Chains A and B, each alone.
Chain A
């Protein structure tokens, strides 16, 4: 591309249609970000790229429309941002396009679109997210149905992962979990952080609060012990919560 790169707070291009709103781009690769910014400006959006991401995230007050990768770092940032600005709208750019990747992204974001999609499809996803909608390929929706029929653990966690969460809730240390699993502490911390992100949490404390709320810390009952739970499935009935906030938001 030989055009000038998009800069922070670039307005829509002259001659573009009416202003559709502002889109904030976060954590994207520079080359991709530049192309997407130009495309969004052509589509009538003002594009913002915060130079100081942490400072921006800590001070954001107005509802925003974001485009982010589908990385753990982006989802953690969204979790933190929602504590300040509950009405964040966002579109995740998917590296993987299987049903689980779509499902994980839509757990955190308003919409999603493959990273290698055509520019106009990305713009469509942004427009849909502005209205609180997600655009999904038919194959993905069919994939959700197929996956649901084969889910052994409705919460999407393996038995080992649930056992780790329960052990942490019982005051075990990460080091002791690593020794029991025969892995390094580094590997155990990484696996646990991935679990926390899937729970929409940033920290162990937040993750355990979410896990408790979702019933994940209760031991699985023997088949037939609870007639409301199919044999072999974890009871993940959601209890009503007393607070609208997720996790242990504080300070």
Chain B
């Protein structure tokens, strides 16, 4: 089946590059240095086993999270990271990673939040690049002079806060759709990760009332790691009540999986109003007196 989304024309007004590019697209342009590659893996040490030639390594924990608070890195840290990676405000950045690009998609969302416009995700990520036996390198890119990167806007319209969730999305009232993209087990309220055990009843298992379940891995072809064809993606969302007329919020546990859901809906399917709740269940499940829904044990 044709996969029309990779290398598609850019979204008018948001970017000047396609949001999704294929491995072949990247391979054909590697030598021209038209873009900066950034690898974002579940475990950042994977990069040192070999990476795309010239790629920079962004550690999702150490580089893309705030060092003290529970939050994404702040504006100054983002500018500093761009400086170190040799990225200017006009640089085309191509993100990729392992784990079905979940963490690369999270980085994509953060780049977008801080207003970076020329941005793409490589379809299939590291897994597909390796499966296609494409060129890898262990050579680390050289240090570069600071680029003077400056964040020009915060695109808060792509982010949902806990107050947004409580005031507008709990119960999925008319005009909204709420998508929980954790596994069906997590959605049902089963504890599948040790860190979520309610040992001190500090975080309760369950879901936000009104949420429909669309596990992120359903978006991906498991044999290639590529996103499914556009019409299949559209159907997955439509089956869960997502239309252009509703405002959508997506969430998972710590916002890496939901970032891919956001990417598909916002950047590929061009939904006009979709927000990623980056607090995720890690935050919502800990809120005092917040409504929680759970399947019977």
Binding site for B on A (CB under 8 A): 52, 54-55, 58-59, 171, 173-175, 186, 189-190, 192-193, 196, 202-204, 209, 241-243, 245, 247-251
Chain A CB within 8 A of B145 CB: no
One of B62, B192, B253 near A245 (C-beta < 8 A): B192
Residues facing A in B214-235 (CB within 8 A) are 215-217, 222-225
Verify B192–A250 contact, CB threshold 8 A: yes
C-alpha gap A211/B219 in the complex (Å): 33
- Name the segment of B108-116, B163-171, B194-202, B288-296 touching the other chain: B194-202
Minimal Cβ-Cβ distance residue in B for A247: B194
Residues 34-51 of B contacting A (Cβ, < 8 Å): 42-45, 47-48
Q: Are B193 and A250 in contact (CB under 8 A)?
A: yes
**Which residues of the other chain, B, contact A251 by a CB distance below 8 angstroms?**
99, 102, 183, 215-217, 257
Over the window 239-270 of chain B, the binary record of Cβ atoms lying under 8 Å from chain A Cβ atoms (1 yes, 0 no) is 00000000000000100010000000000000
Q: How many residue pairs between the two chains, A and B, have CB atoms under 8 Å in the bound complex?
A: 71
Extra pairs beyond A174-B62, A251-B102 (20, CB < 8 Å): A55-B223, A55-B224, A58-B222, A173-B62, A174-B44, A174-B45, A186-B48, A192-B45, A196-B45, A202-B42, A203-B42, A204-B43, A204-B61, A243-B191, A250-B183, A250-B193, A250-B253, A251-B183, A251-B215, A251-B257
Residues of A within 8 A of B44 (CB): 174, 189
Q: How far is the CB of A164 from chain B (nearest CB, A)?
A: 13
Residue B148 at the chain A interface, CB threshold 8 Å: no
> In whole angstroms, what is the CA distance A169 to B67 when docked?
13
Beyond A171-B67, A186-B140, whether A203 also contacts B197 by CB under 8 A is: no
With A and B bound together, what is the CA distance between A193 and B62 in angstroms? 15
Q: How long is the Cα–Cα vector from A203 to B197 in the complex, in angstroms?
A: 20
Beta-carbon contact of B43 and A248 below 8 Å: no
Q: Which of A193, A242, A249 contacts B197 (CB 8 A)?
A: A242
Identity of the chain A residue whose Cβ is nearest the Cβ of B217 in the assembled complex: A251
Given contacts A189-B45, A190-B48, is CB(A54)–CB(B127) below 8 Å?
yes
Report the bound CA distance from A228 to B187 in whole Å: 43
CA distance A186 to B257 in the complex (A): 27
* A-B contacts, 20 listed (Cβ < 8 Å): A55-B223, A58-B222, A59-B222, A173-B61, A189-B47, A193-B43, A196-B43, A204-B43, A209-B194, A241-B194, A242-B194, A243-B197, A245-B192, A247-B194, A248-B195, A249-B193, A250-B193, A251-B99, A251-B183, A251-B215
Q: Are A209 and B48 in contact (CB under 8 A)?
A: no
- Interface range on chain B (Cβ under 8 Å from partner): 20 to 34
Shortest Cβ distance from B93 into chain A, in angstroms?
21
Assembled-state Cα–Cα distance A190/B43 (Å): 11
Which residues in A have their C-beta under 8 angstroms from that of B197?
242-243
Distance in Å from the Cβ of B199 to the closest Cβ of chain A?
7
Would you give the shortest CB distance from A197 to chain B, in whole angstroms?
10
Task: Verify if B1 is at the interface (C-beta below 8 Å from A).
Answer: no
Q: Chain A residue with minimal CB distance to B127?
A: A54
- Chain B residues within an 8 Å CB radius of A250: 183, 192-193, 253
Q: Is B75 an interface residue (CB 8 A)?
A: no
Residues on B with beta carbons closer than 8 Å to the beta carbon of A245: 192, 194
Assess the A202–B43 pair: CB atoms within 8 A.
yes
CB distance from A68 to the nearest CB of B (A): 17
CB within 8 Å for A189 and B217 given contacts A242-B197, A245-B192: no
* One of B47, B192, B225 near A249 (C-beta < 8 A): B192
Q: Roughly how many angstroms separate A30 CA and B163 CA in the complex, as a whole number? A: 57
Task: Say how far B141's CB is from chain A's closest CB, in angstroms.
Answer: 12
Closest CB of chain A to B202's CB: distance in Å?
A: 14
A45 and B61 alpha carbons, distance in the complex (Å): 45
The minimal Cβ–Cβ distance linking B41 to chain A, given in whole angstroms, is: 9
Complex Cα spacing A55 to B222, Å: 6
- A contact residues around B131 at 8 Å (CB): 52, 54-55
**Interface presence of B83 (CB below 8 A):** no
Q: Select the residue from B43, B61, B199 with max chain A CB neighbours within 10 A.
A: B43
CA distance A223 to B77 in the complex (A): 43
Chain B residues, Cβ within 8 Å of A209: 194-195
